[in-house]
Amino acid sequence: MPAPTSQPTAPAAGPAAAPGMPDVPAPPAHPAPVRLDLRVSKRILWIGAAVYPLANIARVYTFVMRPKRKEAVLRFLRYTAVTMIVGFLAMLPGLLASINAGGGGGNSGAAGYVVFVWIVAAAAEIYFLIEMIGVLTAAPQHVLAIETSGASTALVTSQDPRYLDQIVGQISYAIDHPDVEFKVTVESLTVSPKNYYFGDNVNMYGGSGNVGIGG
């Protein structure tokens, strides 16, 4: 008798495994910011994988990095004007061909070319508009700048200006005290240099075409 009773319990093992699935976290709705370490060790300042000798640091300060909203609007208007001019020049051969063809079959081909030019121009305008809106809606960033005696500058940003002030004090103290070491965790942020006021013209820590900023 025990054998028959043990067999019906076997299928129940399948549903019992289902509750284990929620243990795997679902992908986040928004990608989590990349975290990196800012630390001082043996007279070296590390920001992620970038290295700055403390002896080469010339200035440490904070400022508010603001979006170039006015420049974004002017750039959009300039791109719009250029797009219209280029579009008209590109469309001109099609218009001339359409006029010369009259009502013939070539007229439809010329008209299709004109439509294609306008579609390309409209797509370019949409791209420029999205780019402008992205700058207009961008928020200012509280930034800590670490300038070296060379041409490079490291940037660290945070939503809490007091946190940046603490890091300024820690770095300044470490410069005057060779034995001091510390480590803090920051978050990375990627912005385009053409969309923000950076103050001085500097070479900044980051990828090609963008500036990597810890926040």
Q: Which string of DSSP letters, residue by residue, matches 72-85? A: HHHHHHHHHHHHHH
As given in the structure block, the two tokens for residue 190 are 């990627």
Instruction: Report H helices in 103-211.
Output: 106-136, 161-176
Global pTM reads 0.57
pLDDT at 90: 80
**Residues, the chain, total?**
215
Contact in structure between 133 and 75 (CB atoms under 8 Å): no
Looking at the DSSP bridge assignments, the partners of residue 191 are 211
Write out the chain's pLDDT in tens, 215 residues: 444 444 444 444 444 444 444 444 444 444 455 677 889 999 999 988 888 999 999 888 888 888 999 999 999 999 999 998 988 888 777 667 666 665 555 566 667 777 888 898 899 999 999 999 988 988 888 888 888 887 777 787 777 888 889 999 999 999 999 899 999 877 766 667 778 876 544 434 443 344 444 44
Looking at the DSSP bridge assignments, the partners of residue 152 are 203
pLDDT at 73: 94
Question: What is the C-alpha separation between 36 and 2, in angstroms, rounded?
Answer: 60
pLDDT at 129: 93
**What are the residues whose beta carbons fall under 8 Å from the beta carbon of 190, sequence distance 6 or more?**
206, 207, 210, 211, 212, 213
To the nearest 10°, report the CA torsion of 80, 84, 86, 92.
170
Greatest alpha-carbon pair distance for the chain in Å reads 98
CB atoms under 10 Å from CB of 153, counted, come to 21
Question: Vertex 123, ends 122 and 126: CA angle to 5°?
Answer: 85
pLDDT at 31: 45
As given in the structure block, the two tokens for residue 213 are 């900023």
pLDDT at 74: 94
pLDDT at 103: 53
Looking at the DSSP bridge assignments, the partners of residue 212 are 190
pLDDT at 48: 85
**Helix, strand, or coil here: 115?**
helix
Residue with the two structure tokens 């795997």: 24
**Nearest residue to 98 via CA among 112, 116, 88:** 112
Element (H, E) at 100: helix 69-101
